[in-house]
Structure 1
Amino acid sequence: MLPRRILSVTAQCAMLGALASAGHAASPSFDCKRAEGQIEQMICKDDTLARLDKETTRLYGLALDARSMSTGRKKTLLAEQRGWIKGRNDCWKATDARACTTAEYIDRIHVLRQNYAGARTQDDKGISRGPFSVRCPGADALILGTFVQTEPGYAYLTWLDKKLLLPQTRAASGARYAATTEAGEAMLWDKGPEAQLELPGKPAMACRMEAPE
């Protein structure tokens, strides 16, 4: 059932992001005095990455502390997080270390929110929402979308084996996300429950976003 939403997903996240960041610079979840390696040091100097780090850690903690978590599933989550941290820190090898680190964080936020119900609680204390079901007639499959409010904000779309990270751009109304990919232009325009989606090489689709249960 689609809840009544006057504001777009992005507008809701933006208000929470403003409250979370008002009056002070962002700091990550770890002690920057003990930062190790190029990536951790970069996170400590970058407000956006610091906020992404704090949100990822918040979601991980919520997932880990959920009463419904079995011992086996908790061990899996711990191992996943260790593996993810290693992958994030390997972004120093990338041509664009910051873009790689940003993508790693947003993918992890999406995965935590999608796979662990505990991570979808206490959203009033964070800067992420979703994953929403983006239902588009004519799409190859159901698209899932997670939204993260930083500067800029991001929409992260996944379907089948595909992933698409879209930074927020200016829009006269609603919230528009766009990027140029190797396959062509991509765009999502969030207008509340309604959305317009353009995937590379395909015509624009009129879609509807449904909140997670």
Structure 2
Amino acid sequence: MKPLAVATLALTLSTAAFAEGPAFDCSKASSKVEKMICADPTLSSTDSVNADIYKEVVQTADNPNQVKQEQRQWLKTRNACQTVDCIAKAYDTRYNQLQHERLVNSGAVNGDDSIGH
């Protein structure tokens, strides 16, 4: 695993400890994946953390529609998962993407990953 992925996964897991559950209502979970997320405290918290970052990125993006389209595509990927491990990897991948977009939107890194303005 790449060092950045390990660091962001650790951040996700440490931040997830403070989240209470997924960003969606588990009583309305209808798909197998949603039910698996609701049944797993780590996935539930990770869903909440990712949802918070997603909302921030949409609000600060130059092109929020593109971010929304990327999220819809990612949801298709996540929803194709059959195991908890697959779902966890999908969340890790999306977290890294959102974190990168967050850094670009803040000016901390450029779109080509160089640092600064």
Q: Given the two structures, how large is their TM-score scaled by the length of structure 2? A: 0.73
> Once the 2 structures are TM-superposed, how far is the Cα of residue 118 of structure 1 from its aligned partner?
7.5
Q: Secondary structure at the match of 1:117?
A: helix
Matching residue of 1:106: 92
- Counterpart amino acid of 2:52? R
Is there any run of 5+ residues in structure 2 with no aligned partner, and where?
1-6, 107-112
> Once the 2 structures are TM-superposed, how far is the Cα of residue 115 of structure 1 from its aligned partner?
2.4
> Once the 2 structures are TM-superposed, how far is the Cα of residue 117 of structure 1 from its aligned partner?
3.1
> Once the 2 structures are TM-superposed, how far is the Cα of residue 17 of structure 1 from its aligned partner?
5.0
Structure 1: distance between partners of 2:99 and 2:85: 21
Say which structure is richer in helix: 2
Q: Residue 28 of structure 2: which of 27, 34, 53 is its match?
A: 34
- Counterpart amino acid of 1:104? A
Q: Kindly, what percent of the aligned residue pairs are identical?
A: 28
Q: 1:79 to 1:32 in 2, by over 3 A?
A: same
CA RMSD of superposed structures (Å):
3.0
> Once the 2 structures are TM-superposed, how far is the Cα of residue 27 of structure 1 from its aligned partner?
1.3
For 1:36-115, list aligned pairs within 5 A.
Answer: 36-66=30-60, 69-70=61-62, 73-92=63-82, 97-115=83-101
Matching residue of 1:150: none
Q: 1:119 to 1:41 in 2, by over 3 A?
A: farther
Q: Deviations over 1:117-174 (max 9, x none)?
A: 3787xxxxxxxxxxxxxxxxxxxxxxx9xxxxxxxxxxxxxxxxxxxxxxxxxxxxxx
Q: Is the Cα contact below 8 Å between 1:113 and 1:119 reproduced in 2?
A: no
Q: Is the Cα contact below 8 Å between 1:60 and 1:119 reproduced in 2?
A: no
Aligned residues: 102
Q: Secondary structure at the match of 1:30?
A: coil
Larger RCO (CA under 8 A, 6+ residues apart): 2
Q: 1:33 to 1:118 in 2, by over 3 A?
A: farther
